[in-house]
Structure 1
Amino acid sequence: MSRPSGDDGLRDRFREVMAGVPTPVSVVTSLDGDRPHGTTVSAFVSLSMAPPMVLVALDRGSDLLAVVGRTDRFGLNILGSDQAALATAFARKGGSLKFAGVPWETADGVPRLLGARGFLGCTVAQPVDGGDHVVLLGDVRVADPGSGRPLTYYSRDFGTHVALDAVRP
């Protein structure tokens, strides 16, 4: 099966379609010795309940992916609706500078952002090639739910989930 080249505008149309899909926002973290690394992702999902697993996609060229490749561990910090500034800060390049002024602790060997809506500590079960990304299948070792509304990304903007009953006339 051949893959489309994207030269005919397919990539732009694909990007537009995906902008119309609301996604949760989280910060994936790992430790390089005692140096924290992290990046914002919207490509993650639960994969399995037995055993508990998640799937997260990281850019093939990211520094974080290199760190996770050496440690086989990552944290998934699920952000709340009041943490859009944190998502923006971790979306930039800058290594451990992203953590400046951000309260965090080490949990299960990875950085846990304090105040995140939820936290999962994971080990890499298997990396999978995914084009310009690597998909990490993660075994969940620690799960700590939080409370509040989730931060979502939709139509190139941050928002949150609202139940339909809340918006019906």
Structure 2
Amino acid sequence: MVLAEQFRDVMSGVCTPVSVVTALDGPRPHGTTVSAFASLSMDPPMVLVSLDRGSDLLAVVRRGGRFGLNVLESGQAELAKQFARKGKTKFDGVSWQLDDDLPRLAGASGWVACRVEQFIEGGDHVVALGLVLAADSVPLAPLTYHARTFGTHARTDGAS
């Protein structure tokens, strides 16, 4: 157990972007907060997201073969917490709309709609490789997670 704790401490020192991955199960939206996502390829455009093996969202994404990636902006920490919880009320009080037939959250700084190309098993998570079908962004500061707290990026070269 010591190695797991040491690994968790190391990873808490890595600043990661925060997003909410979404999908539809029939008419019902599903979503979960993730910090493990990245650009995978520019040609063709692809991303990867890591989803907990036991998550309800993973089952929905497996069935539907598509997901949305809502990159949160710095003022959306409460939204990140809401989607990190378990349960079926994550979308309660949340402003969203369908975009490319996927749930897109209002106010996010980035949006990517994807079709799953492949699932890769990895320990207690599954990595979904997504081919980008649509993308949009707004120039807002990103929400990040570091040392078990939310924050945002700041320049260090003195420029503004």
Q: TM-score range by the shorter chain?
A: over 0.9
Structure 2 counterpart of 1:129 = 121
- Alignment identity in percent? 64
Cα offset for 1:165? Answer: 2.3
Shift of 1:148: 1.0
Q: Secondary structure at the match of 2:108?
A: coil
Does 1:20 find its partner at 2:46?
no
Give 1:62 deviation, angstroms: 0.2
The whole-number CA distance in structure 2 between the counterparts of 1:106 and 1:148 is: 21
What root-mean-square deviation, in Å, do the aligned CA atoms of Structure 1 and Structure 2 show? 1.0
Secondary structure at the counterpart of residue 157 of structure 2: helix
TM-score (norm 2): 0.97
Q: Structure 1: which 5+ residue stretches go unaligned?
A: 1-6
For structure 2, the 5+ residue unaligned runs are none
C-alpha separation in 1, matches of 2:102 and 2:125: 21
1:115 aligns with one of 99, 107, 115: 107
Please say which structure displays the higher CA radius of gyration: 1
Partner amino acid for 1:116? Answer: A
Aligned twin of 1:62:
55
Which residue in 1 is equivalent to 2:78?
Answer: 85
Q: How many residues align?
A: 159
Maintained 8 Å contact 1:73/1:109: no
For the residues of structure 1 that align with 2:133 and 2:112, how far apart are their CA atoms? 7
Task: Write out the 4+ residue segments of structure 1 that deviate beyond 6 Å after TM superposition.
Answer: none
* Separation of aligned partners in 1, 2:7 and 2:135: 33
1:33 pairs with one of 26, 47, 58 = 26
Paired residues for 1:42-53 under 5 Å: 42-53=35-46
Question: Shift in Å at residue 120 of structure 1?
Answer: 0.2
Confirm whether residue 164 of structure 1 aligns to residue 160 of structure 2: no
